[in-house]
Structure 1
Amino acid sequence: MTTPTLRAGIVGLGHMGRHHARTVHHLDDVHLVGALDPAGDPHGAARGCPVFTDLEQLLHRGVDYVVLACPTAIHAELGLQLATAGIPTLIEKPLATNVDAAIHLTHAYHAAGVPAAVGYIERFNPAVTQLHRKLQDGLLGDIFDISTRRTSAHPGRITDVGVVHDLATHDIDLTTWITGHQFSSITARITNRTGRPHEDSLTALAQLTNGTITQHHVSWISPTPQRLITVSGDNGCLTADTVTSKLTLVTGCADPNNPHQYTAGLDGAAQLDLVPADPLISEHRAFRERLRGRPSMIASLQSGLDAVLVACAALRSSRTGATTAIDRRFAARQW
C-alpha cells in the first residue's frame, strides 16, 4: 500500500531551519510546501517553495506538519498558534526559554490532542543510538556514573539563550533517555567570559532519581569541538563520541577476592560497529512515525519540558551557590 506524502512547512530559515529544509527535500514521502521567515530565504534553502512572513499564509498552503526552527524566544508564541490550529509540530530544542513557557506549550498540544515533539537530534547520532541499545541490553550491568563534555567556540548565531539552554539541554535529555531516570538534584557553576548577555560555560554535578551520579561540562569558549558521553557500570564503560560518531567499550572486571573492587584497563578497549545514518533524516523519520501513531524514540514534549526544568535548576544553583532539588510538583500534570 502506498504511503501518502506529507506536506511540511518550516518556520525559520536560519542555521537549523536550512538543515531541516535540506532534510525534507531528501525524504521521499514528505514534500516541502512553504516556509516562514521575515528575512526571506537568502540562502535558497526553500528551493523555490514560497516563503512567507505570516504564519497564516503558511498554514493556508495546507500543511500536515510544521518544523518550528525559529529563535527559542518565540517558540511559545508561534507554538501556541500552531497547537490551536491543530498542526502537528516538530519543535527545535530547547522547547522554551523558561519553565512557564514550556508548561504552556506542553499543555496546549496535549489539550488539543495534537502530536508534537522536540528535536533533540543527538538521540539519532549512530553512536548514541547504539549506546542506548547496549545499555538497554544490560551490557554494563548497573550504571553508577555518567559524564558528558560538549565544547566549541561560540556559534555567534545564538543570541536569545546561553550555553545552558542551547547545549546542556542536549546532555540533560540524553542522560535521562539512556538511563530511563530523571534528574533529582544539580549543583552548577557558570561563567561569562565573552561578555555576551548569557553564560558561555557550565560545569555541573548532578544525581538521578535512582542515585546515579552525573557530571556535565559545556562550553562556548573552547577552540576544540568535543561531544562526549561516557557511561560507567559494573562491567566497564562506554564512550560515545558524536563528533566522530564512534562508540568505544572499555571492559572491566571485579576482583574475585573483593567484589566491590572495580578494575579496568585500556587493553580491554574496543570500538563497536555502527550503522551509518544522517541524524536529522532519522529524526524526521521518527517524527513521521509519531504522526502515524507508531512507537518512536523522538523526544516528547514532556521530555522537552523536563530538560528545561533541569536547565533552569542549574542556572538557579549557579546563582545561589547551593545544590538545587528538581521540583516537578507544579509541572507534573498528566495530560
Structure 2
Amino acid sequence: MGESNGAQHPTIRVGLIGLGSMGRHHARVIRETPGMELVAVADPAGDRFGVARELAVLPDVHALIDAGIDAAMVAVPTIYHEDVALSLAAAGVHTMVEKPIAHTAKAGQRVADAFEAAGLVGAVGYVERCNPALLEMRRRIADGELGEVYQIATSRQGPFPGRISDVGVVKDLATHDVDLTAWLAQSPYHSVSAQVTHRSGRDHEDMVVAVGRLTNGVIVNHLVNWLSPRKERQTVVTGERGALVANTASGDLTFYANGTTATQWDAVAAFRGVSEGDAIRYAINKREPLRVEQENFRDTINGNTATTVSMFEGVHTLTVVEALLESSQNRAMPIEPATYSSRNQEVSP
C-alpha cells in the first residue's frame, strides 16, 4: 500500500474505472476520504465530466492495475462488471463494484467466488444502506422498537434517468429495494412475484409492481418506476408497535406509534386493530451516503468490522431480481429465488 497518512493504516491507493454519471461522484468522494488517494482513473469512452484533473485517462482495467493500485472502484456499465472485476481479483486488488454486482446472478457468483478465493475485500455499491434515514431505521428495528416486524413496503418512483441504457427499471432501481429490504429485516427472500410493463418504447421494462415473502415470514412489496413526474423514495416498515417511515430523498425518519387512547366513535371502535397514536420525526445526523459508503470500504480493507455489502449478498439480490423478471413473464406465479452456495452466503446482520 501507499505511504502512511499518519493514522494507524497506510494510505490506500485507489483506482477508478468508469467516469460517467456515477464515476464522477466516486472520484470526488475518494479524493475527500481520509486514508484514500485517487491515483489512477480509466474509461475507454473518455472523461466527459472532467473527472481526471491531473491524472491521465487510462484506456482499460489492465492499465489501471499497472498503475499500482491497492483498491478499485468499478462504475462501468453493468454488462462489463464481470470482466473488469475478475481482472481486478486476479491482480489482487480489493474492489467495490457499483450495483448490481453483474449482468446475471451466475456472473455475479463467479465474481464473488473469485474474490473469496483470493482473500480480497469484494463489495457491492448499494449506497442506500448508507442513507441516514435507513441506518437509523435499521438500528431501531434491531433494538426492538417496532416489536415483531410484519411488513416492509417500498416506493421508488420518478422521471427516467438519462444515465441508463443497458438495463430496465428492475435491475437499475428495484435492486436497491430488494437489497435494503433484506438488510433491514436481516433475512433473505424466500419467494417473489411481479408484474412489469413497457410504456416508454425501450426494450426494457419501465414499471414494476412486486410482492414477496422473506424467510423470516415478513411480507414485502415494491412499487418502482421511472415514468412518474412525482419523485418518491419511501420505505415503510410496519410492526406490532407501529410503523417507521423513511424518506430516503430527504433523509428523514418518522415513527407512527400504535394508539392507546380509546375512541368514542362506535364505527371505528368496533375494528379490532390498532389505532392512530403519536408521530415523531427524529432528528438524525445526515451525512452524504456515498461518503459513508466509501469510508466503510476503506475500513473493511483495513480489517475493521465489515459494514460493506458483501458480493454474496449482491448475488442474492440479483437472484431475487431475476426471479422477479421471470415471474413477470409467467403470469406472476411465485418463484423461489435460486440459491448459491458459499460460506459467506448468509445476509450479514
Q: Which residue of 2 aligns with 1:118?
A: 124
Q: Which residue of 2 aligns with 1:74?
A: 80
What secondary structure sits across from 1:139 in the alignment? Answer: coil
Where do 1:1-335 residues align within 5 Å? 2=7, 3-253=9-259, 261-265=272-276, 268-329=278-339, 331-334=340-343
By how many angstroms is 1:254 displaced?
Answer: 7.0
The answer to whether the 8 Å contact 2:36/2:298 transfers is no
2:81 maps to a residue whose letter is: H
- Please give the per-residue CA displacement for 1:288-330, whole angstroms capped at 9, x wherever unaligned: 111112113221101100110000000010000133332434x
- Please give the per-residue CA displacement for 1:106-164, whole angstroms capped at 9, x wherever unaligned: 11111111111000000111001100100011000000011000011111221111110
How many angstroms apart in 2 are the aligned matches of 1:145 and 1:170?
17
- After TM superposition, where is structure 1 displaced by more than 6 Å over at least 4 residues in a row? none
TM-score by length of 2: 0.91
Higher strand share: 1
2:304 maps to a residue whose letter is: R
Q: Structure 1 stretches of 5 or more lacking a match?
A: none
How many angstroms apart in 1 are the aligned matches of 2:101 and 2:228?
26
By how many angstroms is 1:210 displaced?
Answer: 1.4
Q: Structure 2 stretches of 5 or more lacking a match?
A: 1-5, 263-268, 345-349
TM-score by length of 1: 0.95
Q: Which moved more, 1:303-312 or 1:95-104?
A: 95-104
How many angstroms apart in 2 are the aligned matches of 1:98 and 1:302?
13
The answer to whether the 8 Å contact 2:327/2:335 transfers is no
Compute the RMSD of aligned alpha carbons: 1.7
Number of residue pairs matched?
331
How many angstroms apart in 2 are the aligned matches of 1:318 and 1:255?
44
How many angstroms apart in 1 are the aligned matches of 2:97 and 2:41?
15
Q: Which moved more, 1:24-33 or 1:144-153?
A: 24-33
How many angstroms apart in 2 are the aligned matches of 1:63 and 1:46?
16
How many angstroms apart in 2 are the aligned matches of 1:255 and 1:102?
52
